[in-house]
Amino acid sequence: MASEKTFTVLMAVYKNDDPALFDMALNSVFENTLLPQRVLLIVDGPIPHTLDAVIIKYRHKNILDVHYLPKNVGLANALNEGISMISTEWIIRADADDYNLPNRFEILVDNMSSDIGLMGSLIQEVDKDNTKLGIRRVASKHVEILNFAKYRNPFNHMSVCYRTSAAKTAGGYPDIFLKEDYALWATMLSQGVLSKNLDVVLVNATAGVDMYKRRGGIKYALAEIELQRHLLRVGIKSRLSAFIHGSSRAVAFLLPSSIRGLLYTKILRS
């Protein structure tokens, strides 16, 4: 493999992750048709023995590097710890509860080019029973992505890969609850990093209406407001746009869970 296409798979796991899904996710990484130089697993604080048993199951893999954090620091900080330890040209993200299609890494590497610094794909959303719920589509071309980013997250986090140097230059993931990925993309795009999304599903992502019903309350509303402030700071949004989207979405997070579930199924994925 050419040196400019070396890559590390970066994954984080924490105490509330599902052991069965974690096992599936790790197995899908090691069963890919093209393996990385390294799989860096960040264990974000103490985990139950059921999750540790999954790690032990794969300990014999020579490319697996497990790094334990003494306390839970949240996804953004856990991933930033991982980024600081990576020297390969590229980082491919993988989530601890999502299935990577067997040729995901090969397809990503085939599409890496000298001008691109951030790349993702479509995802197939599934529930815990692996029932297909729908495909989350995103813009493909860089110009379209810049426009898409003004309104919604332009990348599916579990599908992305990015240049290690670009992520470090951007300062890593901002510590914004459940919005750290969107915030990082915004920073990278504002710094001139070129991007694209492949118009193909490469990840089956665990989701579902119940998950979106649970995502509500003041903590989520405040995180949305902080995200909009970040998008304004880096120049992705105007002051008016940030205010309108921030306030309307913050209100949505304060709605009853049944209504949030309806918004997800009828509007957000329409």
Identify the pLDDT of residue 250.
75
> Quick one: angle between helices 218-233 and 239-253, nearest 10?
170
HSE on the CB side for 25, CA within 13 Å? 28
- Which pLDDT belongs to residue 245? 83
Res. 251: pLDDT tops 60: yes
Backbone Cα Rg of the chain: 18
Q: How confident is the model at residue 1 (pLDDT cuts 50, 70, 90)?
A: very low
In this predicted structure, the answer to whether residue 24 has a pLDDT above a threshold of 90 is yes
Give the pLDDT mean for 165-193: 98
| SS3 state of residue 69 | strand
Q: What pTM was estimated for this model as a whole? A: 0.92
Predicted confidence (pLDDT) at residue 130 exceeds the cutoff of 50: yes
pLDDT of residue 73: 98
Instruction: Say whether 142 sits in a helix, a strand or coil.
Output: helix
Q: Each residue of 45-76: pLDDT tens digit?
A: 999 999 999 999 999 999 999 999 999 999 99
**Lowest mean pLDDT segment, chosen from 48-52, 116-120, 129-133, 194-198:** 129-133
* pLDDT score of 248: 78
Q: Write out the E strands in the chain.
A: 7-13, 38-44, 64-69, 90-93, 99-100, 118-126, 132-136, 161-163, 195-206
